[in-house]
Amino acid sequence: MPQQIPEYYPPPDKRLRPDVPLVPATTHAKKWTGTLPDKFIAALVTRVSQNNLQKWVNDLSAFHTRHTKSAYIAQVATWLVDQFKSLGYADVVMHPYVKAGYQLDNVVCTKPGVGNTGQVIIVCGHYDCIMENPQDAAARAPGADDNATGIAVILEVARILADVQLEDTVQFVGFSGEEQGLWGSAAYAQYLQASNINIHRLINLDEVGYPLANSSIIVERDIGNKTPENDLLSQSFGNLMAQMAADYTITPVKFGPIYASDYMPFEACGYVVIGLYEGEGNPNYHHSSDAPGTVNYLYVADAARITLATLLSETMSFINESSSPVDVYIRDSTSDTGDQPSGLPHWQSPDIWVRNNPPPTDPNDPNDSNYGEDPDAGHQPPINNVPNYMYVRIHNRGYQAAAGLSVKAYRCDPGTGMIWPDHFNLLGMLPVTVPVPPNNNGSVRVGPFIWTPQIVDHECLLAIVSGPDDHAIPDIYSGQLEHSLLVRFDNNVGQRNVNPTPSTPGGKTKMSFLVWGTTHPSINTLHIDASLLPPDTKIAVRVSRSMTDQADNLAGFVLKSQNTRWSVLVLPGSAEGTIVGFPLASNEATHVTVEIDFSYQAEHMKRYPIVASQEQDGKIAGRLTIEIIAVKESEDYVYGNVRSRELHTLNCAFRKVMKPRNQVPFQTIKDGVARGYNGCAFCLPAYNDENNSHKVIPVGRAALGCLHVG
C-alpha cells in the first residue's frame, strides 16, 4: 500500500472526464428470494423520504455561500454536526486540518459496528461549494446539486440506519475544501493512513440531483489511477451497487471511472473506492443558478436507495437464509402463497382469527361447556371487557419441515400509518409444538392467545412467526418501521383487523381512528371513499382544525362547522372526499372521527364499505375500511338504545318505539353488555343485573362484519 498521497490535487472539474467511455450496466433485477437480507433491504429502502432530502438541500442552499474560504464554512460544519446528533448519533466530531493558512474542519459521524471485523466503511461527500469565479468567496452560491444533494443523501442514509445493527463500523463524513483541490479528503485520508485504520470500502457522493436525459446514474469505479491493484475490488464493489440499483430502483446504471472528487486521495492510499454521480450534463454547474428548484428529488431519492442498499448488502448483520430449507409464512390474504412483498390488501389475514369462547378442556367430553367449539369454525368479532381467544395458522413453502418455531401476537389501536414497534402491544408468545410440513403440504395451528379488549372501535391484530432457519425482520432490527412495510415485506408477519359495525337503516354509526405521522416530518393526504354507500347516507368527518387549516385544499368535502379545535366536514354517500397536503410532525397523531347516518335504502345483511386512505410523502401509508352491515328487523339480534343504554329483543314494546338513529344491533347479549348496555327489565330480565354480564347468549346465526385496516 502506498505510504504517501500526492501533496497537491488540482481543483476538480467534473466536466473533464478521463478518456474512458461510459458503459451501460447489463445488470438485471435478480429474482427476489424473499429471505433475509432481501426483505430487510426492501423494507428499509422504502423508508427513504423525498421530503427529508428536499429539506436538507434547501437548508444547505440557504447559506449565503459554502465557499471554503468564506466566513460561513464554520457555520455549515456546525449545522452538519447538529444534524447528525439530531438523528441520535453520539460520536460526531470535527476533524480539524490546516491548509493554505485556513483552519478548517471535516465532519465525521461514526456508527460503531456490532461485529468483530475491525473494518470501517466510509460514506462521504463534500459540503463546500463555489461560484463561476472560484476565488470569489463572498458571492451568493447555493450549491444545491453540487453538493447539497450528496450531503442530503448521506444524512438520509444515516437517519434510516440509526437503529440498524451493522457488522462493520460506518463513518458518515462531510469534507470541506473539495473545490480548492480535495483539501479535506486529502487531510482525512492521510490521518486514517497514519492511524492505521482499516478502511474496508468507501462510497463517495458528489452531484446526484440532475439526471442525464435517460435518467441513468453513473457508478464510478477505479480504473488505473495510483493504486491499480485495487481495480478489481473496486469494480466488484461497483457491480454490487449496480445490482442494488436494479433490485430496488428503476434507475438505469452506467459504469464510469473515478475522477475529480473526494475518493481520489483514498484511492492513492490503496483503499477500495467507488462513487455515485449524475453525469456531466448540469448547465448550472458552479453557477448561481445551481438552486434547489433545479434538483430532481425523485432522482436524489433513488440515489439514496442505491447507497443504502449497497451499504446494507455489504455490512448488514444478518443470517443469510438464501439457502435455507425452511420458508414459513402467515398469509396476508386468501390468495397469498408467501410471496414477498405481498399485494393489497395485506390486512385481512385468514390465518389470524378470534373465538369468543375458550377451547374445550376435553374436546371429546360432551359435558364440557365448550364442547364442539372449533377455532377453525370461523372468525368471531372480539367482545370488549371479557377474555377473547386468538389463533394463528402457519404454512411452510420450504422443502424441509420447520421446527423450533415460536409465534408472537400483538394488538394496537385503530389508525393509519402505525409505526412498529411503538404502537403495538405484545399479547404473548407461544411455541409451535409440532413441525410445520414442507411444500405447503398442510399447516399448523397455534393458540389461543388470550386477551381482553378494552377499546370500542376495533382491534388491529398482528402475528409474527420465526425460528432458527427463518427469521423475521424484528429478530434483527429493533428500530422503528412503518408497520405496513413489516407486514408486506416479511411473509413471517400477518395482520388482521376486526370490528363489528352493524347498523340499522336510518341508524347512526360512529367510530374514530388515529392518523399517524411517520418517523420524520411528513406531508400527508387523507382520502375518504364512500362511493359504495347509498346516496341518502350522510357522513360527517371530524378532524383537528389544524389539519384543515394547513391543508393545501379540500376536495369533495363541504365544511359544515368549525371551532378552535375541530373542523366538521360532510360528505354524502356515493361520493369521495380528500384532505390534501397537511403536515404531521415526527410520530405525531391526529384523531379522526367518522359519524354515519346510515341509508334507509340499505339492503338487509349487505356490507357497505367506507375506505379511509392515508398518503405520506406521496406513498400509501395505511388504509382503513369501515365495513357497515345493514341489519333490519331480525330475531338474530338484540338492539341497544344509545339513550337509555338498555338492550331489547326484536319484539319488545320498548324497542318498537325506538327511533332508528338510536338503535344499535348486537349479535350477542354479551357483546352489548360488554359495551356498557344493560338488559331490559321486561324482555331481558335475566340480564338486567350487571353481575350477569359474563354470560354468553348467542342471539342468532347471522355473522357480523369486520373493520379492516391497512
CATH number at residue 446: 2.60.40.10
Integer Cα distance of 145 and 151 in angstroms? 10
Of residues 331 and 629, more confidently modeled = 331
Which residues, in sequence order, are CB contacts of 574 under 8 Å at separation 6+? 530, 531, 532, 533, 534, 535, 537
Residue 244: count of CB within 10 angstroms of its CB? 25
Q: Above 80 in pLDDT, residue 464? A: yes
Q: How far is CA 125 from CA 153, 168, 262, 408, 651, in A?
A: 9, 20, 7, 43, 77
| Residue 622 pLDDT exceeds 50 | yes
Do 354 and 378 fall into the same domain?
A: yes
Lowest mean pLDDT among 323-327, 344-348, 608-612, 685-689: 344-348
* Per-residue pLDDT at 502 exceeds 90: no
Lookup: cell for 463:
402475528
Residues 573 and 437 in one domain: no
Residue 494 confidence (pLDDT) above 70: yes
3-state secondary structure (DSSP) of residue 248: helix
For residue 599, pLDDT beyond 80: no
Q: Is the model's pLDDT at 64 over the cut of 60?
A: yes
- Cβ atoms 539, 558 nearer than 8 A: no
- Please give the angle made by the CA atoms of 704, 706 and 710, to the nearest 5 degrees: 175
User: How many degrees, rounded to 5, is the angle at CA 455 between CA 450 and CA 458?
Assistant: 85
CA distance 215 to 241: 17
* Each residue's pLDDT tens digit, 157-210: 999 999 888 999 999 999 999 999 999 999 999 999 999 999 999 999 999 999
- pLDDT exceeds cutoff 70 at 521: yes
Q: Of the residues 607, 631, 655, which one is the last residue of a structural domain?
A: 631
Burial 303-336 (b: 16+ CB within 10 A, else e): bbbbbbbbbbbbbbbbeebeebebbbbbbbbeeb
How far is the C-alpha of 334 from the C-alpha of 351, rounded, in Å? Answer: 9
Domain-embedded: residue 7: no
Decide which of 94 and 347 is more confident: 94
For residues 5 and 471, what is the distance between their CA atoms, to the nearest angstrom? 45
Report which residue type is found at 642.
V
Report how far apart, in Å, the C-alpha atoms of 440 and of each of 279, 338, 394, 444 are. 49, 10, 10, 11
Which pLDDT value is given to residue 698?
Answer: 42
Say what the pLDDT of residue 287 is.
95
Examine the pLDDT at 115 and tell me if it is beyond 80.
yes
Section 609-626 average pLDDT: 81
- Looking up cell 382544525 gives 545
For residue 83, count other CB atoms closer than 10 A to its CB. Answer: 23
The amino acid at residue 461 is L
Distance of CA 489 to the CA centre of its chain: 10
Between CA 7 and CA 29 the distance in angstroms is 43
In this predicted structure, the answer to whether residue 692 has a pLDDT above a threshold of 90 is: no
Structural contact between residues 612 and 527, judged by C-beta atoms closer than 8 angstroms = yes
The CA distance from 401 to 435, in Å, is 6
pLDDT above 80 for 259: yes
What percent of the chain stands above pLDDT 90? 60
Domain boundary among 471, 498, 525: 498
C-alpha cell at 672: 352489548
Return the pLDDT at 458: 67
pLDDT band at 696 (very low <50, low <70, confident <90, very high): very low
Query: Is there a domain that residue 320 lies in?
Result: no
* 129 and 228 housed in the same domain: yes
Residue 92 domain-assigned (yes or no) = yes
Per-residue pLDDT, averaged over 294-314, amounts to 97
Q: Which strand ranges, in their side-by-side order, compose the sheet holding 92-99?
A: 23-24, 253-257, 217-221, 273-277, 199-205, 120-126, 169-175, 102-111, 92-99
The better pLDDT of the pair 221, 708 is held by 221
Same domain, 397 and 363: yes
Residue 224 lies in a domain: yes
- The per-residue pLDDT for range 87-97, each reduced to its tens digit, is 999 999 999 99
Q: Are 571 and 556 in contact (CB under 8 A)?
A: yes
- Listed residue (635, 661, 39, 52) closest to 324, CA to CA: 39
Q: Look at residue 26 in the predicted model and tell me its pLDDT.
A: 92
- Cα–Cα distance, 19 to 21 (Å, whole number): 6
Nearest to 672 by CA among 657, 656, 692, 658: 692
One-letter amino acid identity for 412?
Answer: C
Closest CA to 216 of 170, 268, 254: 254
Query: What does the alpha-carbon distance between residue 670 and residue 653 come to, in Å, rounded to a whole number?
Result: 22
φ, ψ at 227 (rounded to 5°): -125, 75
Determine the straight-line distance between the first and last CA of the chain, rounded to whole angstroms. Answer: 54
pLDDT value of position 708: 28
**153 in any annotated domain:** yes
Sign of CA dihedral 611, 612, 616, 622: negative
* 598 and 688 part of one domain: no
366-386 average pLDDT score: 79
Lowest mean pLDDT among 11-15, 322-326, 430-434: 322-326
Domain co-membership, 135 together with 221: yes
Q: What is the pLDDT of residue 690?
A: 52
pLDDT of 477 strictly over 90 = no
User: 661 and 566 in one domain?
Assistant: no
Is residue 10 in a domain?
no
**Domain closes at, from 283, 315, 347:** 315
149 neighbors 81 (Cβ within 8 angstroms): no
pLDDT above 70 covers a percentage of the chain that reads 94
d(CA 440, CA 496): 22
Length of the chain, in residues: 710
Q: Are residues 359 and 292 in the same domain?
A: no
Q: Are residues 493 and 515 in the same domain?
A: no
Q: Is residue 21 part of a domain?
A: no
- Cβ neighbours of residue 443 closer than 8 Å, sequence gap 6 or more: 351, 393, 394, 395, 396, 436, 437
For the chain, the domain total comes to: 4
Position 501 scores a pLDDT of 67
Closest CA to 686 of 707, 663, 670: 670
Q: Summarize the confidence of residues 572-599 as an average pLDDT.
A: 91
User: Is there a single domain that holds both residue 445 and residue 469?
Assistant: yes
State the pLDDT confidence band at 512, using cuts at 50, 70 and 90. confident
pLDDT interval class at 686 (50, 70, 90): confident
Task: Tell me whether strands 638-641 and 663-666 are parallel, antiparallel or unpaired.
Answer: antiparallel
- Residue 703: the pLDDT is 28
Residue of 424 and 31 predicted with greater confidence? 424
d(CA 309, CA 45): 7
Q: What is the pLDDT of residue 702?
A: 29
Q: Are residues 402 and 521 in the same domain?
A: no
**pLDDT of amino acid 612:** 87
341 prior amide bond cis, ω within 30: yes
Can you give the residue range of the structural domain that contains 161?
28-315
Query: What average pLDDT score do residues 4-18 get?
Result: 88
165: domain CATH number? 3.40.630.10
Whether 308 and 387 map to the same domain: the answer is no
Residues 6+ positions from 540 with CB-CB distance below 8 Å: 560, 568, 569, 570, 571, 594, 595, 596, 597
Cβ count near 47 (within 10 Å)? 20
The CA-based angle 323-326-330, given to 5 degrees, is 130
pLDDT at residue 613 greater than cutoff 70: yes
Is pLDDT of 214 > 80?
yes
What local confidence, expressed as pLDDT, does residue 3 receive? 52
Mean pLDDT of 2-27: 87
In a domain, 8, yes or no: no
Helix (H) or strand (E) holding 655: helix 653-656
Q: Is 619 exposed, middle or buried (0-12, 13-18, 19+ CB in 10 A)?
A: middle
Can you point out the beta strands (E) in 21-175? 23-24, 92-99, 102-111, 120-126, 169-175
Question: What integer pLDDT is reported at residue 625 of this predicted model?
Answer: 74
The pLDDT mean for the chain works out to 89
Please check the confidence at residue 576 and state whether its pLDDT lies above 70: yes
Residues 120/29, Cβ–Cβ less than 8 Å: no
**Residue (of 130, 135, 133, 134) closest to 146 by Cα position:** 130
